[in-house]
Chain A
Amino acid sequence: MGLTILPDGRTVAVAPGVSVLEACRENDIDLPGICGGRGRCRECRVTVVGREVAPSALDKSLLEPEDLARGWRLSCQLMVEGDLTVELPPVSLKLLDPSVVLPQLAAVEPVIQDVEADLSGISHESDEPAIAFLKETLSRKGVTITRQSVAALRELGLALARRDESVRCLVHDGTLLDVRAPSSAPIYGLAIDIGTSTVSMALLDLTTLAMLSVETQRNPQGAYGGDFMSRIAFAMEKEENLLELHGKIVNRVNRMIERLVLGYGIERRDIVLMTVAGNAVMHHLFFGLDVKALGGFPFRPVVNERLQVPAAELGIELSPATPVVGLPLISGYIGADTVGVVVALDLLGRSDTAIAVDVGTNAEVALVHRGKLYVCSAPAGPAFEGAQMACGTQARPGAITKIVLDEKEQRLKIYTVEEKLPFGIAGTGIIDAVAELARIGVLDESGRMRDTALWPAWLRERSHTAGEMRAFVVARDAENRPLYLHQGDVRELQLAKAATATAIHYVMGAAGIKAADLDHVYVAGAFGSYLDPASILRIALLPDVPIERVQFIGNAALAGAVLATLSRRHLQTAVRVAREAVRVDMATDESFQDVFVDKLRLAH
C-alpha cells in the first residue's frame, strides 16, 4: 500500500495496520505528535485528500465538525488501508532559528590544537618510527601526544614519503587526529543543542573563532511524543526502540551536517570537532544509552561525566576519528543543557549574584551567589510551547507571539511570526495574554476568568465559551474562526509557571537570598526576542526584580556548547560545573506543596 504525502508528493510503502503517524516516523517525515500517538492532542492532524475516510471516535472528540468535513484526521488514528494521500499542515514545516548570544572571545586556548611540525630534521636513514619523531617534535612545542588516529598515521607516512618539509597537526586532548599539508583549509567545529522539540546546530570557524551559521530543525523524535517522558515510555516498550530513537537523532544530525557541507562548500574532513549539549534524556538518546532509569525517581543516568567518542562509533558522518564531545550532566534530571547555560554566562567565575532560568518544558534554574552555584529543575510541561492549549501552537509563521492590550486606543494588538495571518497562539502569546488579562482585570489574581459583566466594556465582545469554560477571543484566523484562550489554558499556564517559580524559590532559598539580592536575572529558552520581560514579571514567573535586571540570552545551552568547542577554558568550566554545582532538591521538601500552591497566583 502506498501513502502519498503532500505537499512533497513523496510516496512511501506502508504495511497494513500501520498508522499515518507511524509511517511518517519510519520515513523521517516531520509530523509533530505532542502526545506520542496516545490520542490526547490534535497536533498530528493531516488532511485526507481525494477520498472519504470515516472519522475515528477520537477524531470526533478532538476535532471540530467543520474540520472533519474538510478531511482533517488525526494521523495517529488514521490507518493506511489501500492507497492514501494526505496533506501535512503547511505550518509544520518551518522553524525559527534561535538567537545565540556569545561573549567577546579574545585570545583563547583552543580545544583543538592546530600546530605545525617541522619534518626537515628527520633522518631518512633511521629506522625510528615516524610517529616517534613527530611526537618528539610536537612535545618540544609543548604538545603531548598519547594516542593517534589511523588517518593521522596514514597521512604522516605519505608526507614523509613525499619528503614534505613540514606538516600541520590537529590534536585533541592528546590524540593526534589528523596530519595535513601546512597550507590546507581552515578547520571547523560544530556545536549542537539537542532539545526535546528542536535540534540547533552552529557551524564554527575554529581558526577565526567565528560562528558562521545556526540552523534549527525539528527533533524527529517528536513523532514519539512532545515531552521526553513519552520517548522514555516508548523506549520502555522494547529494547529495539532505544536504537530506533537513537537512529532518528543521529540521522537528523547527519542530514544537518550534509546541508552545511553542501551549503558552505566545506570538506567533511575539515570539521574536526563536535560538541553536544542537551537535557539528560536527549543526551542519552543521542549517544544511544538506555533511558529507562531516567524515566522515574531516583532518575539515574548511565553516565554523567564528559563523553568523548569518535564520530564513527556513533555513525556521525564525519572523519571516523573526529571527536564528538558530550558536555557533562549534573544529574539525571539536570542536564548538559543547564551546564551549557552556566558556561555561556560564565556563572562559575562571577562574584555577583545572578540567576539563569531556562523557560521550557523542563524548567532549569542555575543561581550563583558568593561564587557558589546552585541548580534545580522542575517539569513545567509543554504549556510554554503552546502545546495542549485549545488554540496553541509552536512559534511558527502565523503564530501569535505577542499580545498587547492598549486601553487608550481600546485595541488589542497581536503580532505574528513573519506577520502571517494568525492560525494559533504561541507560548509567548499565551503568556502575554494571561499577563495582560490579569493586568486589565479579566483574570483575577487567582487566575479565574471573571464574569464578562466585570470586563472592560470594550473587551466584552471577545467573550466566548469553549465547552463549559469561559474563554477570551484573542483573534480570528483566516477563516474567521476564533482563536481563544479558555479558562483551562490559563490553568495549564499557571501550572507551568508555578513549577518554574517554585524551582526558583528553592534555589534562592538554598543560597539564602531574596529577590532584591539578584543583580541579574537571565532568561534562556527557544523564545528568542518574543518573550516580553514585563509579562513574565507580571505573572510572577520571575522573582520580583526591577525590569532592567532581566535579560534574554536566547539559546544559552547552544551558546555554551559553542564556547566549549572554541575554548579549552570553557570546556573545563563545563566539567567543573557538573562537579561543583549544588543540586537543590525540592520535591521531597515538606513545604513543597504550600510553595507550589502559592506560586500558582498571578502576582508576587
Chain B
Amino acid sequence: MSEDRDAILKGLGDSVWKLDPAMATEFANRAIAAGIDAYDAINDGLAKGMMVVSGMFDRREYFVPELLRAAKAMNTGIDLLKPYLKVDATTHKGTVVIATVKGDIHQIGKNLVALMLRTAGFTVHDLGVNCPAEKYLGKAKEENADIIGMSALMTTTMLYMETVTQELQKVGMRDRIRVMVGGAPVSEQFARKVGADAYASHAAVAVEVAKQLVAAAKEPAGNLQVAAKVG
C-alpha cells in the first residue's frame, strides 16, 4: 500500500516535469482509486514535480514553453483531484494582485508568474499590463490581498515600482501587504531600492518566494526578509 502510494505520488510529480497531461490524468485517477488524500496528492505529488521544473528552469534546461506545459500537466491533475479535497483542507495559499507596471505592456513574464501562482494554489487577480498605482492599490484593498506582484521589462518602467510602494506607504497599507517584483532588468538590489519585500528571478521561483512572503507575514513588512535565492 505505502509502496503503491509512493509510486503514485512519484508518478504525479514525474508527469509534471515530463510535461505530460495524459500521465497526470492517469496518476491522479490512480491516486483517487487508491484513496490517497487529494491534498497530499497535490502537495507531495504534483507540486514536487513543479519543484523539479523550477530547478530545470534555473539551469535553463527548461524554458518558457516547458513552464507552460508543466503548468498544464499540473492543472490537469489538480482539476481531477479537486472534488476530493476535504472541505476544511483548503489549498488556498494566499491572494495576489499582479500586473505589469504603468508604461509597460510586456505580458508574458507576468502571465507566467500568475499561472504558476494559480497552479500552486494562490488566488490571483491579474490586472493586465500598463497598470497604474491606484489600480494596484484599489484591487489589493478590495480583495484583501496578501501580496502585490509587479513586473517590468524595461529600465525606464521599472522605476514605477517605487511609485507603487510609496503609494502603499502613503495610504497606510504597506504593513499589511507584501510586495514582490520581477522582470528582466530588475535585480535583488533594485528590489530593495524600490522598497519591495522580495525579488523573484523567474516564474518558477516566484511560487516559493510568494509562499515565504505569506509565511513571513507575521513579521513587519517593508524590509527584505525573504531571500530571493530559492530553488
Which residues of A are at the interface with B, using a C-beta cutoff of 8 A?
A: 36, 38-40, 225, 227, 229-230, 232-233, 236, 292, 295-297, 379, 381, 446-449, 468-470, 486-488, 490-491, 494, 587-588, 592-593, 596-597, 600-601
A592 closest partner in B (C-beta) = B107
B104 partner, pick from A230, A297, A488, beta carbons under 8 A? A297
Given contacts A448-B61, A597-B64, contact A229 B155 (CB under 8 A): yes
User: What are 5 A-B pairs with beta-carbon distances under 8 A?
Assistant: A447-B63, A448-B61, A469-B60, A592-B107, A600-B65
Q: B159 in the interface, Cβ–Cβ < 8 Å?
A: yes
Q: B59 in the interface, Cβ–Cβ < 8 Å?
A: yes
**Which 10 A-B residue pairings sit nearest by Cβ, starting from the closest?**
A296-B103, A295-B156, A487-B60, A233-B155, A229-B155, A488-B60, A297-B105, A587-B105, A232-B156, A296-B157
B107 partner, pick from A38, A229, A593, beta carbons under 8 A? A593
The minimal Cβ–Cβ distance linking A500 to chain B, given in whole angstroms, is 15
B residues near A36, Cβ cutoff 8 Å: 155
A residues near B68, Cβ cutoff 8 Å: 597
A residues near B103, Cβ cutoff 8 Å: 295-297
On whether the beta carbons of B59 and A296 are closer than 8 Å, the reply is: no
Residues of B in contact (CB 8 Å), total 30
Q: How far is the CA of A85 from the CA of B14 in the complex (A)?
A: 57
On whether the beta carbons of B156 and A236 are closer than 8 Å, the reply is: yes
B112 closest partner in A (C-beta) = A593
A residues near B130, Cβ cutoff 8 Å: 297
Residue from B65, B106, B130, B189 whose CB has the most chain A CB atoms within 10 Å = B65
On whether the beta carbons of A229 and B154 are closer than 8 Å, the reply is: yes
The minimal Cβ–Cβ distance linking A174 to chain B, given in whole angstroms, is 39
In the complex, given contacts A296-B103, A297-B129, what are 19 additional A-B residue pairs having Cβ atoms less than 8 angstroms apart? A38-B155, A38-B187, A229-B155, A232-B156, A233-B156, A233-B159, A236-B156, A295-B156, A295-B157, A469-B60, A487-B60, A488-B60, A491-B60, A592-B107, A593-B107, A596-B108, A597-B65, A597-B68, A600-B65
A295 closest partner in B (C-beta) = B156
B residues near A225, Cβ cutoff 8 Å: 155
Q: B102 in the interface, Cβ–Cβ < 8 Å?
A: yes
The minimal Cβ–Cβ distance linking A497 to chain B, given in whole angstroms, is 13
The minimal Cβ–Cβ distance linking B163 to chain A, given in whole angstroms, is 12
On whether the beta carbons of A587 and B59 are closer than 8 Å, the reply is: no
Q: How far is the CA of A229 from the CA of B152 in the complex (A)?
A: 12
Given contacts A39-B189, A592-B107, A597-B64, contact A230 B59 (CB under 8 A): no
Q: How far is the CA of A391 from the CA of B106 in the complex (A)?
A: 28
Q: How far is the CA of A592 from the CA of B111 in the complex (A)?
A: 12
A residues near B44, Cβ cutoff 8 Å: none
Q: B66 in the interface, Cβ–Cβ < 8 Å?
A: yes
Q: How far is the CA of A36 from the CA of B187 in the complex (A)?
A: 14
Q: Is the interface of B mostly helix, strand, loop or mixed?
A: loop
Which residues of B are at the interface with A, using a C-beta cutoff of 8 A?
A: 58-66, 68, 102-108, 111, 129-130, 154-157, 159, 184-185, 187, 189-190
Q: How far is the CA of A600 from the CA of B105 in the complex (A)?
A: 19
Q: How far is the CA of A225 from the CA of B105 in the complex (A)?
A: 22
Given contacts A39-B189, A296-B103, A296-B104, contact A470 B155 (CB under 8 A): no
A residues near B105, Cβ cutoff 8 Å: 297, 587-588
Q: How far is the CA of A339 from the CA of B189 in the complex (A)?
A: 40
Given contacts A593-B111, A597-B68, contact A230 B155 (CB under 8 A): yes
On whether the beta carbons of B61 and A470 are closer than 8 Å, the reply is: yes
On whether the beta carbons of B156 and A296 are closer than 8 Å, the reply is: yes
B residues near A227, Cβ cutoff 8 Å: 155
A residues near B156, Cβ cutoff 8 Å: 229, 232-233, 236, 292, 295-296
The minimal Cβ–Cβ distance linking A37 to chain B, given in whole angstroms, is 11
Q: How far is the CA of A449 from the CA of B56 in the complex (A)?
A: 12
On whether the beta carbons of A494 and B61 are closer than 8 Å, the reply is: no
On whether the beta carbons of B154 and A446 are closer than 8 Å, the reply is: no
B residues near A39, Cβ cutoff 8 Å: 187, 189
A490 closest partner in B (C-beta) = B60
B residues near A448, Cβ cutoff 8 Å: 61-63
Q: How far is the CA of A230 from the CA of B185 in the complex (A)?
A: 10
Q: How far is the CA of A28 from the CA of B92 in the complex (A)?
A: 57
On whether the beta carbons of A296 and B102 are closer than 8 Å, the reply is: yes
B59 partner, pick from A40, A232, A487, A596, beta carbons under 8 A? A487
Q: How far is the CA of A291 from the CA of B21 in the complex (A)?
A: 48
The minimal Cβ–Cβ distance linking B61 to chain A, given in whole angstroms, is 6
B residues near A588, Cβ cutoff 8 Å: 105
A residues near B64, Cβ cutoff 8 Å: 597, 600
The minimal Cβ–Cβ distance linking B149 to chain A, given in whole angstroms, is 18
Residue from A40, A230, A232, A296 whose CB has the most chain B CB atoms within 10 Å = A296
On whether the beta carbons of B58 and A468 are closer than 8 Å, the reply is: yes
The minimal Cβ–Cβ distance linking B187 to chain A, given in whole angstroms, is 7
Q: How far is the CA of A297 from the CA of B106 in the complex (A)?
A: 10
On whether the beta carbons of A446 and B187 are closer than 8 Å, the reply is: no
The minimal Cβ–Cβ distance linking A336 to chain B, given in whole angstroms, is 20
The minimal Cβ–Cβ distance linking A109 to chain B, given in whole angstroms, is 42
A593 partner, pick from B60, B108, B157, beta carbons under 8 A? B108
On whether the beta carbons of B187 and A296 are closer than 8 Å, the reply is: no
The minimal Cβ–Cβ distance linking B72 to chain A, given in whole angstroms, is 12
On whether the beta carbons of B63 and A446 are closer than 8 Å, the reply is: yes
The minimal Cβ–Cβ distance linking A401 to chain B, given in whole angstroms, is 24
B residues near A229, Cβ cutoff 8 Å: 154-156, 185
Q: How far is the CA of A469 from the CA of B104 in the complex (A)?
A: 31
B130 closest partner in A (C-beta) = A297
The minimal Cβ–Cβ distance linking A453 to chain B, given in whole angstroms, is 15
B residues near A601, Cβ cutoff 8 Å: 65
Q: How far is the CA of A491 from the CA of B65 in the complex (A)?
A: 11
Q: How far is the CA of A273 from the CA of B37 in the complex (A)?
A: 79
A residues near B155, Cβ cutoff 8 Å: 36, 38, 225, 227, 229-230, 232-233
The minimal Cβ–Cβ distance linking B85 to chain A, given in whole angstroms, is 30
On whether the beta carbons of A587 and B63 are closer than 8 Å, the reply is: no
A446 partner, pick from B59, B65, B104, B185, beta carbons under 8 A? B65
On whether the beta carbons of B157 and A494 are closer than 8 Å, the reply is: no
A465 closest partner in B (C-beta) = B59
B residues near A38, Cβ cutoff 8 Å: 155, 187, 190
A446 closest partner in B (C-beta) = B65
Q: How far is the CA of A39 from the CA of B65 in the complex (A)?
A: 30
On whether the beta carbons of A449 and B159 are closer than 8 Å, the reply is: no
B residues near A597, Cβ cutoff 8 Å: 64-65, 68, 108
B190 closest partner in A (C-beta) = A38
On whether the beta carbons of A449 and B61 are closer than 8 Å, the reply is: yes
Residue from B104, B107, B155, B187 whose CB has the most chain A CB atoms within 10 Å = B155
